[in-house]
């Protein structure tokens, strides 16, 4: 067990979310182009990370066969369905569109925005836990590839943390409360990563197809969040092509990192 790499991989995404949240307090004026590009960049990173760090390793572990394809497809579908259920069950607000989803609630708007970030971070954290477990068991992923995946999450968590705290700060929420909300939002990922790691370690003993199935589930959950939440948010805040430019840049940066890491 590489405890040094484990600590780094757990800390990087959490620290990036909190750093993005805190940096939002240091900016006095916003730019729709910048915010749209940042969210687009985060979306591209997550899509590429899902492909190179989750789907491809799942296929490499289970095999490029019809049965392997069915296993990965099943996992992907389960991940999407799980996030759809979570999306309907957890009250949260889309900041730029001012749309509240989930069951009726009396929670304040800041807490709804924090829940929105947590909703993004839960599947990412679970995916990180599964990736760490896969690297520990040498099932499709090396430690280098796992660290690259963690770094990719950190890269996309920074603009995500910025995007949720910046509008709150601009609307008059105190700096102290913004820092606290940013800290709460950042906690979801390491907690869910530990849960994902524990679950993957326990389930992997059941059979050879469990790990690729879990990798595919994580990929489905992450891609669902991108399509359902991040891409619409990036397009809503930026009426030009900057969100698209950000997506393409983020996708290619993470794709290169994934190819080098693997």
The predicted structure's pLDDT at residue 193: 93
Residue 144's pLDDT band (cuts 50, 70, 90)? confident
- The mean-pLDDT minimum among 136-145, 182-191, 224-233 falls in 136-145
Residue 230's pLDDT band (cuts 50, 70, 90)? confident
Is 217 in contact with 199 (CB distance < 8 Å)?
no
For range 252-257, the mean pLDDT: 89
Answer whether residue 72 shows pLDDT above 70: yes
Residue 160's pLDDT band (cuts 50, 70, 90)? confident
The predicted structure's pLDDT at residue 29: 60
Domain limits, the chain = 33-261
Which residue has better confidence, 102 or 164? 164
Is 3 in contact with 135 (CB distance < 8 Å)?
no
Please enumerate in sequence order all residues whose Cβ is within 8 A of that of 64, keeping only pairs 6 or more positions apart, or say none: none
Average pLDDT, the chain: 85
**Three-state secondary structure call for residue 99:** strand
Is 56 in contact with 148 (CB distance < 8 Å)?
no
pTM for this prediction: 0.86
Instruction: Dump pLDDT digits (tens) for 30-54.
Output: 567 777 888 899 899 999 999 998 9
**Three-state secondary structure call for residue 101:** strand
The predicted structure's pLDDT at residue 250: 92
The predicted structure's pLDDT at residue 243: 92
Residue 95's pLDDT band (cuts 50, 70, 90)? low
CB atoms within 10 A of CB 178: 20
Highest mean pLDDT among 56-70, 166-180, 200-214: 56-70
- The mean-pLDDT minimum among 105-109, 170-174, 217-221 falls in 105-109
Answer whether residue 146 shows pLDDT above 90: no
Residue 222's pLDDT band (cuts 50, 70, 90)? very high
Sign of CA dihedral 223, 234, 177, 24: positive
């Amino acid at each position: 067990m590489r405890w040094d790499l484990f600590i780094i991989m757990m800390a990087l995404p959490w620290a990036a979310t909190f750093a993005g949240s805190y940096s939002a307090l240091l900016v006095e004026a916003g730019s729709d182009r910048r915010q749209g590009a940042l969210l687009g960049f985060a979306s591209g990173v997550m899509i590429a990370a899902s492909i190179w760090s989750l789907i491809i390793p799942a296929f490499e572990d289970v095999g490029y066969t019809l049965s392997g394809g069915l296993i990965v497809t099943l996992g992907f579908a389960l991940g999407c369905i799980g996030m759809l259920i979570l999306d309907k069950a957890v009250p949260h607000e889309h900041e730029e569109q001012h749309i509240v989803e989930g069951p009726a609630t009396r929670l304040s708007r800041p807490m709804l925005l924090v829940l929105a970030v947590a909703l993004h971070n839960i599947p990412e954290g679970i995916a990180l836990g599964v990736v760490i477990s896969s690297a520990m068991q040498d099932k499709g992923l090396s430690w280098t590839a796992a660290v690259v995946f963690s770094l990719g999450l950190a890269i996309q968590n920074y603009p995500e943390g910025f995007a949720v705290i910046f509008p709150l700060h601009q609307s008059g929420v105190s700096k102290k409360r913004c820092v606290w909300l940013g800290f709460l939002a950042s906690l979801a990922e390491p907690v869910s990563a530990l849960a994902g790691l524990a679950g993957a370690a326990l389930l992997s003993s059941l059979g050879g197809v469990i790990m690729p199935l879990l990798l595919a589930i994580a990929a489905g959950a992450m891609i669902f969040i991108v399509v359902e939440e991040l891409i619409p948010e990036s397009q809503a805040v930026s009426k030009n092509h900057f969100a698209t430019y950000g997506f393409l840049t983020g996708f290619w940066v993470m794709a290169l990192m994934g190819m080098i890491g693997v």
